[in-house]
Amino acid sequence: DAGVIQSPRHEVTEMGQEVTLRCKPISGHNSLFWYRQTMMRGLELLIYFNNNVPIDDSGMPEDRFSAKMPNASFSTLKIQPSEPRDSAVYFCASSTDGTGLNTGELFFGEGSRLTVL
């Protein structure tokens, strides 16, 4: 069974360009999370969706970041315009449960390493 699939694995872009990161969660999982990993800040939660609906976007750094989940099998994280400080590894994770006491295991993709020059 395929795990969480992220693309691209690596992206190098110039400051000011638009970046779109993509994620396909595990089939049947109803929660999807976007995390950002840096040396200084560790794993930060940016936003999460439950049943395709954004539940909490309080971790999104600023208006340059946006995320969508148009259906249960696809999500995007967009940065426009990108800045050098956005350089990080962005992880998508999915889970079968996002609420209540049945907090489920997060299954992470392999990440998208973004470098903004």
Q: How far is the CB of 49 from other proteins (least distance, A)?
A: 11
- Is 81 or 87 the residue whose CB approaches other proteins more closely? 87
Return the residue of 56, 68, 73, 78 that touches other proteins, per CB under 8 A: 56
3-state secondary structure of 88: strand
Task: Look at phi and psi of residue 74 and say left if phi exceeds 0, alpha if psi is from -120 to 50, else beta.
Answer: beta
Return the residue of 77, 91, 114, 116 that touches other proteins, per CB under 8 A: 91
2 binds other proteins (CB under 8 A): no
Which two three-digit tokens encode residue 113? 């390493």
Which two three-digit tokens encode residue 78? 């967009």
70 binds other proteins (CB under 8 A): no
Compute CA 103 distance to the chain's CA centroid, rounded to the nearest angstrom: 19
Residue 47 burial (10 A CB sphere; 0-12, 13-18, 19+): buried
Q: How far is the CB of 6 from other proteins (least distance, A)?
A: 8
25 binds other proteins (CB under 8 A): no
In order of 9, 47, 71, 73, the CA distances from 26 in angstroms are 18, 18, 13, 8
45 binds other proteins (CB under 8 A): yes
Binding site for other proteins (CB under 8 A): 4, 33, 35, 41-45, 48, 55-56, 58, 91, 93, 98-103, 105-106, 108-111
